[in-house]
Structure 1
């Protein structure tokens, strides 16, 4: 009996070549680094102050400008026809006369546009009023 000897093929080592995979990963990394825009977004958080001070006694003579939610003005209880700075200026001059030492009180609704308050302050400053004050309310205690 003769034995047949079959030659076995030598086993090849199975291996995965990682070089192309690494090249692709580096190319993707470079692509994303170049195409990404780095923005530094800052979000401004404003915490408005509350007034804890004691209420001051108002003097008998003062000039009070009330500003409504829609930006309308009332000077010492008299409503103005419009919210133009010239109209406001004339009303303040009528009420104050030549006395620029009067306390100037600005009372605005919490939802009043900021521009309306700035307009009153600007007109008062141009007329020479130096003692401006803004009314606040006591914070609600919890």
Structure 2
């Protein structure tokens, strides 16, 4: 009788990991593509439009945001003009190679924009850039 033959050993069940790895890679690619990087979290700054735009340099830059209400932000923290001056003076001799990037709302007061530009000059920044949006086709 062939029914009573002994088996040599039990085969262990195998789990194929390939489909799971494929799904993980597809999810990773989906999230990498669909993720948007917000440069100004929590701030709503509408930059003025310009027909020309300068390419970004690889040099180190200090980003200062000016809202339409006149609030000054360094990164994502609100600062006063005096605190901003102290922060900028902390860069000392590195200011010659750094860029002072001013991201002012298009509805911000012109006087405050000039004050921030003057502050950059006084603290030793040789490079000043004012951020704008690329004007779309009409």
Structure 2 length as normaliser, TM-score? 0.56
**1:112 and 2:108 equivalent?**
yes
| 1:99 match | 94
Give the total of aligned pairs: 90
Structure of higher RCO (CA pairs closer than 8 Å, 6+ residues apart): 2
How much has 1:54 moved relative to structure 2? 4.4
Residue of structure 2 equivalent to 1:21: none
1:77 aligned residue: 76
Task: Give deviations 1:42-93, integer Å, cap 9, x for gaps.
Answer: xxxxxxx95333441243621111101111111233321x3xx322201323
Equivalent in the alignment of 1:133? 129
Structure 2: segments with no counterpart, 5+ residues: 1-47
1:61 alignment partner in structure 2 = 60
| CA RMSD after TM alignment | 2.2
Runs of 4 or more off by more than 3 Å in structure 1? none
Shift of 1:122: 0.8
Give unpaired runs (5+ residues) of structure 1. 1-48
More strand by share: 2
C-alpha contact 1:75 1:92 (8 A) present in aligned 2: no
